[in-house]
Every structure is written in structure tokens, then in C-alpha cells.
Amino acid sequence: MKQERVSVIAGNAFATSDAQGDMEVDPRAPVGLFSFDTRFLSHWVLRVDGERLKALSRDDMTYFETRFFLVPGKASHYVDADVSVIRHRSLDDSFNERIIVLNHSPEPAELTVRMEMGSDFADLAEISRPRHRDITVTADIVSGQLRLCYERARFSREAIVSSTAPVDVDRRGMTFRIRLAPQGQWETDLHISMTVRGEGGRDMRADLTTHRHHVRREMREDLRDWLDRAPQLVAEREPLARMYRGSLTDLAALRYQPLSYPDRILIGGLPWATSLYGRDSIVACLQTLPFTPELTPATLRMLALLQGGQLDDAHDEEPGKIVTELRYGEAAAFGDQPTSLYYGAADTTPLFVVLLDEYERWSGDATLVRQLRHPARMALDWIDEYGDLTGDGYLRYQSRNTRDGTVNQSWKDSDGAIVDRHGRQPDLPRATCELQGYAYDAKRRGARLAREFWGDPAYADRLEREAAELKRRFNRDFWLPRRECYALALGPDGEPVDALASNMGHLMWSGIVEDERAAAVADQLVGPDLFSGWGVRTFAAGQRPYNPVGSHLGAVWPSDNALIAAGLRRYGHDVQAGRVIGGIFDMAQTLGGPVPEVIAGYPRDLTKYPVQLPVAGRPQAWSSGALLMLLATALGLTPCGENLLVDPALPDGFGRIELLDVPGRWGHADAYGRDRSAGEPGRRRLH
């Protein structure tokens, strides 16, 4: 049976334990205390009189705070246990745990409380098989502190454990010998500070001190302000409001402040993507513009700051390319993996331009558009100068790094994700279909920015011509008339990869699909081969590689479905969009808690329950954001000049919903909608 995992998160740090609050190395999962891609605690086990504790209950208070209620001994002792223990854990700029021991006996009690401690300082990237490191452990008996330190050349990480109660310290932990009065209690606060040293021994986390001390004092207020700034959802179907608030809270938990950067942006998610992921951040910002628009300017500036400026094969870097991944761990620092700054994705660069334009449409922030003119033009230039690898006008990918580079540099980035219906992989470089949609959209949006904000109508005209030509060629070369769908990709010689896959929904979202083909695409997306009942599968059933538990070969991704639903509504296929929206919301409601990154693609009428996959992270920025985007799609929220256009098409069962105080260039506006069974309100333009 799968061991339950309990996590708290704050910024770039997270701690994961078992249901008792203990941490022990597990090669199947990142268990311990992590910050900036390094595990600062790998062993954290509490014993009372030599016994491990058993769980009675747990109170998950917020994303950064939880309490464990425990007793010593076996389950048969629960009813009449004389001693119980509360572990109150919180995470901010440091890890904090208050241990409270309660004596329920009418007699005094003498107990030995011991916390075993240790660290392997493993890189998050090597959790399945962490290598041995020489760790310096110093037990300071006078100060009552335990210091754990790892150094490799300029790379230095240190954890310091201290206690507020008198303690005996040794190299393996801390021991408290306590005496409890009848019905009495004892407590101590354990505090773990984490140090990330850079050049010259400087603590790089110290740059975050002002922000993090503020958050430590006022994290609850910070969360309350975050929720208050977002629109208020009033829903006749109560679970909708609960899921909405849960998604906003998950996004609050996933905000972090990168080293040497003044603002907070989103990490990808727990447990593996606890740093900046360009694709995830861009998509999450696109999903959340009607709700939490403040995430977008900081993200765009950060991505512009890290934009590629040279040719670097090891990191797949090219001038104008937008970063895919930013890591701070040891493997990245010494080039064991190319992830200190890795650019191995072909979609982040056009999506950067898409996000910049979409942000201006919602916010009216012309200043940022002008400030990011050069990075945006570099991104547009990259599409043709470096993205067109065969000279046929299509955006393609092939890693420059032949040893460690990502093979498939699209959102379906697993090695075997791009195959035809018989399982054959095309040669490289590959042109997946959704990349062409992103490039088309980026050129059209870049043309608007050039004409309206950059004062360059000639450049705008050129981009519009290129977009129109791309759309014409795309609909000629990618369309498979016998299957009435678009090819998943083209190989280097233009041969189509004839698989039916969810990527077609991204094409509708980008607008590259010809109007007369939209109905066929829409029917395919919600047909029995692609639509599981919970959502659209990544790869259609009935094809040889199909696997309902294959993440890109048949599983269902909420982030994928959010773009698909938006594309369906863009082309007026509201009924099909409603099926997708309803399926994802049903899945989220059934599972409860954070929306998983991916679920299995089993037919809904077979399993009756959404089957989770072990690889799926929770929470994930673009999964939590997917629920928000689906809500905005159901309401038909579209910026239209200085107004917000509302065109609702709610799935059956949604009842009446009101989204109040939607922020934008219009100030704040309200949106209303009812499902079809309750009658539809007319289209409204709100100021």
C-alpha cells in the first residue's frame, strides 16, 4: 500500500514526511526538507522512550503549516495512552517544529524524547539514487546546536538545528530528558536555518531576508490578501466555489522568489518542479490573467532577463530563445546536468510573445510592452532564424546537446511521446503541429504589438504576411483528409506522423485551424477515442502506442484540457467545450485537494473514479491554473478594448455562477452565467 506523504511548502522550500511527521530516505519519492534543489534534511525521526510514534490525526492548517497528533506504542494502546504528542510544523524562511508532550496520567512521568537528525545534501535530481557525500557534522554542546555542512569547491550548503529547551546534542541528533507533572505538558521549538552560499561565501538566501521575514510574520495575512485580490466566485453548486478557492490557495503556495530577483513568480510544482519552468510559468500566467494578473509582469521580466544570448550546445541555448528550466542544485552548478539554465524547448519562445500580448489586452500595461520590445523581437526572430531547422518554414526542434539534451522539446517531452499510430518515431528535427499554431499566434500578436506600441508598421505587415502564409501551408501539409484530423507532427522530409492526439486542441486555441475543418476537429476531440469522460486523452485509444497510464500516450492532463476547451469555444463549439470543462471539474471534485498534474486515461464508465498516476505532482501551477482557465472559458471572458466581454456557455449541472470584481484595464467587472438547463443569459459587455 502506498505510504501517505504530507508536505508543507513556502517559496522554494518544501518538506515532505510520512503520516507521523517523520522523514526517512525513500528512493521512490523526495522525502525530507528541500530548498533550492538541495535536501537539507534527509532524516528527522521522533522517538519517545525509544519508541516510534503512531498517528491519531492530522490538521493541515494551511499549505505552510500542519499539526500531527500522535501517541507512542501500537494501535491497541490508542484508547488508554497515558502520553500523547503534538508536532506543530511550519515552513517560512526556515523549518520550524514545535513538539508538545502531554501527560494524561494522574502520576508524574519521566520520559526521554529524542529527535534523530541527518542530511545527505542530495540534489533533487538524484533522489532515486543519491550519491555519497562527505558531510561535516558538528555538535555544539554549549550552544545546543547541531550543524550539518556540505562543501564542494564554491558550492556550500549548511543546516543549523537549534532548540529553545535545554538539550543534549550529539552528532546524530538531540535528546531531551523531561519530567512531566500529572496532567502536565512540556514543549520545545526546533528551528532549522538553511544557508545557500555563493561566491565569496555569501549567503545567497540573505538576499531574500526582508521579504521572507515579512512573510514569516504575516503569512496568513499574505494568503488572505492574495485571496481577497482575486475575483469572488458565488456558485449555486457549492463544490465549484470550494475548488476555485483551493486552486487560488495552491497558486499562492507555489509562489517563490528566485535568488537575486526582487519579485515572486511561480514554480512548476511539487515535488520535482520546485523552480522556474518556462513553459509551466507561461501557461499558468495565461490561465490566471483574469484572476491573479500580478503573476505575469514578474514572470515576463524574469524570462526576458534569462533569454538566450549565445550559441551554447550544452545548454541548448540560442539567441532569443526563452529558458525552459532554472536549477540551483549541485548537478546544475557543476554541469553534471545542463539545468543551471536549460533552453531545451521549442514552445516557450513563441509562447512568451503570446503571453506579452495577452497581458496587455487584459491590463492595458503599454509600458511593459515597450520595455520588453527587444526581448519580444528577439523571440520572434528566433522562430525563423533558429527554429526553422530545415528551411521549410516550420518550427522544429533537435537538441544541440547530443548527450543530455531533451529529445522531444515540446510540451509532450517524454522520449517516446511523438510517434505515429503504429508506434514509429519520426527522425529529427521534428515539427509538432501545436508548435506551428504557437508560431502563427506569436506572429499575429507580434504584429499587433509592433503596429500599436513599437511604431513599426512595416515589421507588423511582414509578420502578418508570414502568419498568413504559415497558416496556408500548415493546412495543406498537416491535414490528413482520410482521418479528418491534423498530423501530430512532420518528420524532417515533410512526412506526416499520422497519430490522433490532443495537440489538435492547441491548434484551435491558437487559431491556425481553417474554419471549415473546425467541426471535424471538435468532434474528434470529444469522440470516444480521445475523450475519456474525465477529459481529453493525450493520445487516442485504438492506436498501437496507446497506453492509458502513459503520461503522453493516453493519460489526461488538466493543463492540456484547459487549452483545448478554450480552443473549442474560440471556434464556437460550446457543447464540446462544455463536455471537456465538465469532465475536468468532475475529476477535481471527485479527487479533492490540489488538482493532479495528470490522471490515467481509462474510460470513465469503466473505472468510475479518476485513477491517479504515481508520477503526478500535486500541487502543480498549470494544473491549479487549469481550473481557473476552464472557469473563464465557461463564462466566455474576453478583453475587448476597455471592456470585458462575457459570453457564458456553462456545462449542465453548473447552475448559476457569479464572478465578481474581475480585474483588468476596465477596473473591475462582474460576470454572470447559468447552465443551459436554467436558460442562458444574453451576451453582455461589462465596464
pLDDT at 687: 33
Q: How far is it, in rounded angstroms, from Cα 90 to Cα 216?
A: 10
C-alpha cell at 443: 506572429
Q: What is the mean pLDDT of the chain?
A: 93
76 — pLDDT class (breaks 50, 70, 90): low
pLDDT at 333: 87
Indicate the CATH number of 230-686 among 2.60.40.10, 1.50.10.10, 3.30.420.40, 3.30.300.130.
1.50.10.10
pLDDT at 661: 98
pLDDT at 680: 44
Give domain limits for the chain. 6-207, 230-686
Q: Over 70: is that where the pLDDT of 678 sits?
A: no
Q: How far is it, in rounded angstroms, from Cα 524 to Cα 530?
A: 7
Q: How far is it, in rounded angstroms, from Cα 464 to Cα 263?
A: 35
Q: Over 50: is that where the pLDDT of 684 sits?
A: no
pLDDT at 217: 55
Q: Angle at which helices 278-288 and 558-570 pack, to 10 degrees?
A: 50
Q: 6-207: what CATH class?
A: mainly beta
- Residue for cell digits 502568419? 467
Report percent pLDDT > 70 for the chain: 94
- Residue with the bigger pLDDT between 431 and 207: it is 431
Q: How far is it, in rounded angstroms, from Cα 257 to Cα 618?
A: 20
Q: What backbone phi and psi angles, to 5 degrees, belong to 230?
A: -75, 155
199 — pLDDT class (breaks 50, 70, 90): low
pLDDT at 215: 43
Average pLDDT over residues 158-164: 96
Q: Which residues contact 523 (CB under 8 A, 6 or more apart)?
A: 576
518 — pLDDT class (breaks 50, 70, 90): very high
Reference 397, options 418, 374, 375, 377; nearest CA is 418
What pLDDT digit, counting tens, does each position of 437-461 carry? 999 999 999 999 999 999 999 999 9
197 — pLDDT class (breaks 50, 70, 90): confident
pLDDT at 77: 47
- Residue with the bigger pLDDT between 285 and 685: it is 285
316 — pLDDT class (breaks 50, 70, 90): very high
Average pLDDT over residues 125-143: 91
pLDDT at 644: 97
Q: How far is it, in rounded angstroms, from Cα 100 to Cα 52?
A: 15
What pLDDT digit, counting tens, does each position of 395-410 carry? 999 999 999 899 999 9
213 — pLDDT class (breaks 50, 70, 90): very low
Is-contact 33 40, C-beta < 8 A? yes
pLDDT at 657: 96
pLDDT at 73: 75
Average pLDDT over residues 13-21: 95
Q: Over 50: is that where the pLDDT of 1 sits?
A: no
pLDDT at 2: 55
pLDDT at 339: 81
Reference 447, options 322, 544, 356; nearest CA is 356
Q: Over 60: is that where the pLDDT of 331 sits?
A: yes
Alpha helices per DSSP H over 390-453: 433-452
Average pLDDT over residues 367-393: 98
Average pLDDT over residues 60-65: 93
Q: Which residues contact 376 (CB under 8 A, 6 or more apart)?
A: 352, 353, 356, 369, 446, 449
Q: How far is it, in rounded angstroms, from Cα 181 to Cα 110?
A: 9
pLDDT at 129: 86
pLDDT at 200: 58
C-alpha cell at 66: 500542519
CA atoms within 13 A on the CB side of 503: 30
Pairing verdict, β 168-170 and 173-180? antiparallel
Q: How far is it, in rounded angstroms, from Cα 75 to Cα 547?
A: 41
pLDDT at 338: 84
List the single range of 224-228, 381-385, 682-686 with lowest mean pLDDT.
682-686
Sheet (strand 155-163) strand order: 136-140, 145-152, 155-163, 185-197, 95-103, 83-91, 65-72, 51-62, 43-48, 109-118, 173-180, 168-170
List the single range of 251-260, 285-294, 642-651 with lowest mean pLDDT.
251-260
Average pLDDT over residues 648-663: 96
pLDDT at 378: 98
- Grouping H, G, I as helix, E, B as strand and the rest as coil, residue 60 is strand
Reference 44, options 138, 135, 164, 173; nearest CA is 173
Report percent pLDDT > 90 for the chain: 85
- Residue with the bigger pLDDT between 337 and 571: it is 571
